[in-house]
Homo-oligomer: A and B are copies of this chain.
Amino acid sequence: MQHRVPLKAIQAFEAAARLSSFAHAAEELFVTPSAVSHQIKLLEDQFGVQLFHRVHRAVVLTDSGRRYAEEVSAAFARIDLATRELGRTEKSDILTVHATPSFATQWLMPRLARFSSLNPDVDVRLNASTDTVDLVAETVDIDIRYGMKRLQPAGTMVLTFPPETIVPMCSPALMNGPHPIRTPDDLVHHTLIHSEVCLVGWRDWMRQHRKVKLDISRGLRFDRSFMALSAAVDGLGVCLESLLLAQRELETGRLVAPLGLDGPKVQGYTFNLLKARAELPKIRNFQDWLFGELEKASA
């Protein structure tokens, strides 16, 4: 015979035990005293245990009843409390993303509003730093990293971004200024902006343009890609950077690629997460959205 514990009857019992009164229990439970009486009788009949001595106009717990009440009182209090808290709980999931400052600044932040509108029940927390993140030990769902792939702890899933194209970029004013930039040779008249963390630098670029004589020991140097891009926007020189990171500036015309959009490809960014959590909707949704956006950007 299949039975579930008679929760409603136990609830009535617990209230009567706590208040030593069927009538008061009925008040608390918003029912009639008769309902309480029935439920407790049902409980006693089902388990063959007398839970209350019926004294005139009163009830007194039996020893069995007292012990049982002590156990279930705490349990019901806990359910009540947790359920009350539920009505006050945040109504969303939190997604914690860690990324390099440049990717965070240049690419992710300008697009986060798009992800949020597609996933209104997910709050994104974005941490930007160059620190190494331990996905297991820290409450980080996704870590977007840049640089040579390193060995990861077992259980880490590493997805590679599509290849980035690295090209020289500068402000439109510089391109069309006193020393217009039309060919690689035109670069000798301009300051080179070096992005020191970029996997592809001017030295690599020159390997593909051997006819060009640039003094790559000269120029401005930054250890943050977004700063190199910012300097280029300000007309300080020509930077060699990722089309991906400069997408917004190119679209708004603050930067141009005077020598075209073709250049060396590099796979610098990886998307890191724990396999065990890969299918959580908030994580999976973010991943799908991000790689979708990356595809759109390279089309």
Contact = CB atoms under 8 A, between A and B. Distances in A.
Interface of A: 2, 4-5, 7-8, 10-11, 29-30, 47-50, 53, 55, 60, 62-64, 67-68, 71-72, 74-76, 78-83, 85-87, 89-91, 93-94, 121, 279-282
Given A7-B7, A49-B91, A50-B121, A86 B63 contact: no
B5 A79 contact: yes
A219 to B, nearest CB: 49
Contacts of A48: 87, 91
Given A2-B30, A78-B72, A80-B5, A53 B89 contact: no
Given A30-B2, A55-B281, A281-B53, A64 B86 contact: yes
A10 B83 contact: yes
Contact of A78 (B47, B74, B89): B74
B47 A87 contact: yes
A47 B281 contact: no
Contacts of A7: 7-8, 11, 79
B29 A60 contact: no
Nearest to A55: B281
A94 B74 CA distance: 25
Contacts of A71: 78-79, 81-82, 85
Contact of A72 (B5, B74, B79): B79
Given A7-B8, A11-B7, A79 B75 contact: yes
Nearest to A14: B79
A277 to B, nearest CB: 10
B79 A91 contact: no
A83 to B, nearest CB: 5
A83 B30 contact: no
A121 B49 CA distance: 10
Nearest to A51: B86
15 contacts: A2-B30, A7-B79, A47-B83, A47-B86, A60-B281, A64-B86, A64-B89, A64-B91, A68-B83, A71-B79, A71-B82, A72-B78, A75-B75, A75-B76, A75-B79
Given A5-B80, A47-B87, 15 more contacts: A4-B11, A5-B79, A7-B8, A10-B83, A47-B86, A48-B87, A63-B93, A64-B91, A68-B89, A71-B79, A71-B81, A71-B82, A74-B78, A75-B79, A76-B79
